[in-house]
RNA sequence: CGGGCUGUGGCGCAGCUUGGUAGCGCACCUGCUUUGGGAGCAGGGGGUCGCCGGUUCGAAUCCGGCCAGCCCGACCA
């Protein structure tokens, strides 16, 4: 490619609406342009990167026996109704009607379509099958953000495994696990596998691959000592026991005018420290009011509550709903004496006494509360949020909490879809066996963004060679001088013949502009051809990642770069 | 969905309080000079001021409605 003919609209200034580093650099570097919230046009440079990422993914999927498909992005409502997700997906699914008035959806994922195809699986001899595609997904995210990190339309590699029994699924799952590790390694991503929630759709052994980044939206709990790693939605920790005192007090009501929060009560005369309070949250779950109790200084992880109860429809209760059932407003709520309302309590409250909680009467609280004596807990369930520095459950060392980007997710689906669609094969005895499925996803643009998040400097992107849009840029200084441009052209042909993706910067621009652009868009190796070096038969070769620059004889320019790539 | 903010040329912004038909930097085009880290001079092109309505002799500016985008929260296989 000749730069003078390429569409690479670099910008000198950051676009103001870009926050994440990857967003800023990809827009500034001429890789992306936004069309609307959560929808981006991918420009030629981006397409080159994306296609290299896709190649890496294909190679690794094929290595474990994957077969590539391409399924439609528009789906009939029927298949989604069949799996029950037409309702469940709610507003997140783009829906439309065709000219006949039939309900259609844009695919958010493809379990339904692949399951339909899997109906043609007949015999146990056909299994296992690994099917994948690289396809556009549509999700009407309530809040797209971070440029291409979270969008409403994006490319995903999704794959599905079909097995006879859970041992087979385990093996398919493990093979994907290995393939994913290889993929991320080749992309230059340090992806940590973490235990995760499989979400509302069920499944087990859910593992997310996480890349540490401040632009990430997930919190990962990580133990540097033993390697324990889990998504915050799933993580547990060991916490120190709290001494509640020698005297086991009785419940006593006391007035707390103006006290609305845990913090208020911790400084209130006659109140209690935050860890000696019971935090009472009220949720509306599947239309039923539920009390959720936590230690005063602990936060709730809603996903844990959702996973633990199996509730799909879950939200904080409105004040009127709370008032109607408990007779008080938030700020004075508690579970003591409450009957007929499910009460979920976090294990951090087990065995605690002499605690303070709301009295279910505005402006009053109770002290001397013994959790197990005074509260009819329906379910004990870990629902609390881990904080940095708490002890690891497996080794006791301090845990670290960091932000991360979810670059891949693998989980076992079980038989949910196979049952809904009737996907079965005959076993050796001729009996129909429902197949068991796994589901595995990688978001391409998000992975590219994650690479940029972790591979850049103050000047711009620093692509790993494997996915750089071009591996070499030949920067011709004085492209208006025939001899210099000719020398650049010859090198350009030589690099191409050596099979190295090269762009020739033949623009008549000042050196500073060319250097800055090359660094911004992140080409790993820059070969500078200028009149000064040419007099001595030399070019300058710069290694973007290492920051090194060497003068090399023109004749060695190709072999030198090949050697650098090999290192 | 709640809270905050913003829409003026391709990008970044000023002008709006105090109404008079749009300006700056970068980018772009032409010419000359310049050329190893975002050049200089001269000349030039490009904008329904997000949209609709209202007030007014006159609206980028004031008023109302709508739309879009960004940030925080909620939400999110």
Tell me, yes or no, whether A479 and A447 share the same domain: no
Instruction: Categorize the per-residue pLDDT at A14 as very low, low, confident or very high, splitting at 50, 70 and 90.
Output: confident
> What one-character DSSP code corresponds to residue A126?
G
Nucleotide nearest to A233 (CA to C1'): B76
Nucleotide nearest to A512 (CA to C1'): B37
**Domain CATH number, residue A410:** 3.30.930.10
Tell me, yes or no, whether A21 and A154 share the same domain: yes
Tell me, yes or no, whether A306 and A216 share the same domain: no
d(CA A353, CA A504): 74
- Give the closest residue to B7 (Cα–C1′): A17
Q: Which range among A156-160, A238-242, A354-358, A363-367 shows the weakest confidence by mean pLDDT?
A: A238-242
- Choose one of A393, A418, A452: the last residue of a domain: A452
Tell me, yes or no, whether A172 and A272 share the same domain: no
Averaged pLDDT, A477-485? 95
d(CA A455, CA A317): 44
Q: Give me the domain span that covers residue A483.
A: 470-566
Instruction: Categorize the per-residue pLDDT at A321 as very low, low, confident or very high, splitting at 50, 70 and 90.
Output: confident
How large a percentage of chain A has pLDDT more than 70?
A: 99
Instruction: Categorize the per-residue pLDDT at A36 as very low, low, confident or very high, splitting at 50, 70 and 90.
Output: confident
Give the distance, in angstroms, between residue A35 CA and nucleotide B48 C1': 21
Give the distance, in angstroms, between residue A2 CA and nucleotide B47 C1': 33
Nucleotide nearest to A529 (CA to C1'): B36
pLDDT for position A198: 64
Tell me, yes or no, whether A162 and A57 share the same domain: yes
The helix (H) or strand (E) run that includes residue A557 is helix A557-566
Instruction: Categorize the per-residue pLDDT at A88 as very low, low, confident or very high, splitting at 50, 70 and 90.
Output: confident
Positions of chain B reached by protein Cβ under 7 A: 1, 10-13, 25-27, 34-39, 68-77
Tell me, yes or no, whether A189 and A113 share the same domain: yes
- Bridging pattern class, strands A191-195 and A153-163: unpaired
Place of tokens 């020398």: A487
Nucleotide nearest to A314 (CA to C1'): B75
Strand segments, DSSP code E, in A139-216 are 153-163, 191-195, 204-212
In a domain? residue A78 = no
In a domain? residue A91 = no
Give the distance, in angstroms, between residue A36 CA and nucleotide B61 C1': 28
pLDDT for position A201: 52
**Domain CATH number, residue A554:** 3.40.50.800
- Give the closest residue to B26 (Cα–C1′): A12
pLDDT for position A551: 97
pLDDT tens digits, A106-142? 999 999 999 999 999 999 999 999 999 999 999 998 8
Tell me, yes or no, whether A444 and A562 share the same domain: no
Tell me, yes or no, whether A32 and A151 share the same domain: yes
Tell me, yes or no, whether A225 and A263 share the same domain: no
**Token pair recorded at residue A521:** 């868009």
Side-chain-side CA neighbours of A418 within 13 Å: the count stands at 25
Nucleotide nearest to A542 (CA to C1'): B36
Tell me, yes or no, whether A192 and A220 share the same domain: yes
- Give the closest residue to B5 (Cα–C1′): A17
Averaged pLDDT, A99-105? 94
Give the distance, in angstroms, between residue A16 CA and nucleotide B15 C1': 20
Nucleotide nearest to A34 (CA to C1'): B69
Q: Are A222 and A229 in contact (CB under 8 A)?
A: yes
**DSSP of A218-272, one letter per residue?**
EEEEE-TTT--EEETTT---B-------SS-PPPEEEE-TT--SHHHHHHSTT--
In a domain? residue A273 = yes
Give the distance, in angstroms, between residue A16 CA and nucleotide B16 C1': 21
- With the CA atoms of A53, A55, A56 and A61 taken in that order, what torsion angle do they form, in degrees rounded to the nearest 10? 120
Q: Are A125 and A428 in contact (CB under 8 A)?
A: no
Tell me, yes or no, whether A33 and A123 share the same domain: yes
Give the distance, in angstroms, between residue A29 CA and nucleotide B34 C1': 27
**Domain CATH number, residue A347:** 3.90.960.10
**Token pair recorded at residue A25:** 């650099």
pLDDT tens digits, A189-239? 999 999 887 655 555 688 999 999 988 989 999 999 999 999 998 899 998
Instruction: Categorize the per-residue pLDDT at A317 as very low, low, confident or very high, splitting at 50, 70 and 90.
Output: confident
Q: Are A194 and A229 in contact (CB under 8 A)?
A: yes
Give the distance, in angstroms, between residue A510 CA and nucleotide B40 C1': 13
In a domain? residue A264 = yes
pLDDT for position A166: 92
End-to-end CA distance of chain A: 26
In a domain? residue A310 = yes
Nucleotide nearest to A18 (CA to C1'): B70
Give the distance, in angstroms, between residue A470 CA and nucleotide B60 C1': 45
Give the distance, in angstroms, between residue A39 CA and nucleotide B71 C1': 18
In a domain? residue A1 = no
**Token pair recorded at residue A134:** 């690289």
In a domain? residue A84 = no
d(CA A535, CA A418): 71
Other Cβ atoms within 10 Å of A115 Cβ, number? 25
Count the domains in chain A.
Answer: 3
Give the distance, in angstroms, between residue A328 CA and nucleotide B38 C1': 65
- Choose one of A346, A380, A414: the last residue of a domain: A380
pLDDT for position A196: 87
- Choose one of A424, A452, A480: the last residue of a domain: A452
Nucleotide nearest to A139 (CA to C1'): B76
Q: Which range among A3-7, A146-150, A269-273, A461-465 shows the weakest confidence by mean pLDDT?
A: A269-273
Give the distance, in angstroms, between residue A276 CA and nucleotide B70 C1': 41
Averaged pLDDT, A528-538? 96
- Give the closest residue to B69 (Cα–C1′): A37
Nucleotide nearest to A549 (CA to C1'): B36
Contacts of A143 (CB under 8 A, 6+ apart): A150
**Token pair recorded at residue A457:** 């400097």
In a domain? residue A38 = yes
Instruction: Categorize the per-residue pLDDT at A320 as very low, low, confident or very high, splitting at 50, 70 and 90.
Output: confident
Give this complex's ipTM. 0.92
Q: Which range among A23-32, A297-306, A358-367 shows the weakest confidence by mean pLDDT?
A: A297-306
Tell me, yes or no, whether A216 and A311 share the same domain: no
């Amino acid at each position: 490619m000749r730069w003078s003919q390429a569409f690479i609209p670099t910008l000198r200034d950051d676009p103001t609406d870009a926050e994440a580093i990857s967003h800023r650099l990809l827009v500034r570097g001429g890789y992306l342009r936004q069309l609307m919230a959560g929808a981006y046009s991918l420009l030629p440079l981006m397409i080159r990167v994306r296609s290299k990422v896709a190649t890496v993914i294909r190679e690794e999927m094929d290595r474990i026996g994957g077969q590539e498909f391409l399924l439609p992005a528009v789906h009939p409502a029927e298949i989604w109704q069949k799996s029950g997700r037409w309702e469940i997906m709610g507003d997140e699914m783009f829906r439309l009607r065709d000219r006949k008035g039939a309900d259609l959806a844009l695919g958010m994922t493809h379990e339904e379509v692949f399951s339909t195809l899997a109906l043609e699986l007949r015999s146990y001899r056909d299994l296992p099958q690994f099917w994948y595609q690289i396809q556009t997904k549509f999700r009407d995210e309530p809040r797209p953000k971070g440029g291409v990190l979270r969008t409403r339309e994006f490319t995903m590699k999704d794959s599905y495994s079909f097995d006879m029994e859970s041992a087979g699924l385990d093996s398919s799952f493990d093979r994907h696990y290995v393939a994913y590790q290889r993929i991320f390694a080749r992309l230059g991503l340090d992806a940590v596998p973490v235990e995760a929630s499989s979400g509302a759709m069920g499944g087990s052994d859910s593992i997310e691959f996480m890349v540490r980044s401040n632009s990430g939206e997930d919190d990962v709990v990580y133990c540097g000592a033993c390697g324990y790693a889990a998504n915050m939605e799933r993580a547990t920790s060991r916490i120190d026991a709290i001494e509640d005192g020698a005297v086991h007090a009785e419940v006593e009501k006391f007035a707390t005018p103006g006290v609305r929060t845990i913090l208020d009560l911790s400084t209130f005369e006659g109140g209690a420290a935050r860890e000696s309070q019971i935090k009472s949250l009220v949720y509306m779950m599947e239309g039923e009011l539920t009390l959720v109790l936590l230690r005063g200084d602990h936060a709730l992880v809603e996903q844990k509550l959702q996973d633990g109860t199996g509730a799909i429809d879950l939200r904080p209760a409105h004040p009127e709903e709370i008032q109607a059932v408990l007779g008080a407003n938030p700020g004075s709520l508690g579970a003591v004496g409450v009957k007929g309302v499910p009460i979920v309590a976090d294990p951090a409250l087990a065995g605690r006494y002499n605690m303070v909680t709301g009295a279910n009467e505005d402006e009053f609280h109770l002290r001397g509360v013994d959790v197990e004596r005074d509260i009819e807990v329906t379910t004990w369930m870990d629902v609390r949020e881990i904080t940095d520095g708490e002890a690891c459950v497996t080794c006791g060392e301090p845990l670290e909490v960091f932000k991360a980007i979810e670059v891949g997710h693998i989980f076992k689906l079980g038989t949910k879809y196979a049952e809904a669609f009737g996907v079965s094969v005959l076993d050796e005895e001729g009996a129909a066996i429902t197949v068991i499925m796994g589901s595995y996803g990688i978001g391409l643009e998000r992975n590219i963004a994650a690479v940029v998040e972790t591979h850049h400097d103050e000047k711009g992107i620093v692509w790993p060679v494997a996915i750089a849009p071009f591996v070499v840029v030949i920067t011709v200084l004085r492209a208006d001088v025939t001899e210099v441009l000719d020398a650049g052209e010859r090198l350009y042909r030589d690099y191409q013949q050596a099979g190295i993706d090269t762009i020739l910067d033949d623009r008549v621009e000042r050196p500073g502009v060319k250097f800055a652009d090359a660094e911004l868009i992140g080409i790993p190796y820059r070969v500078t051809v200028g009149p000064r070096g040419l007099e001595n038969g030399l070019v300058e070769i710069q290694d973007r990642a290492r920051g090194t620059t060497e003068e090399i004889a023109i004749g060695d320019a190709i072999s030198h770069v090949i050697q650098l790539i090999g290192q």
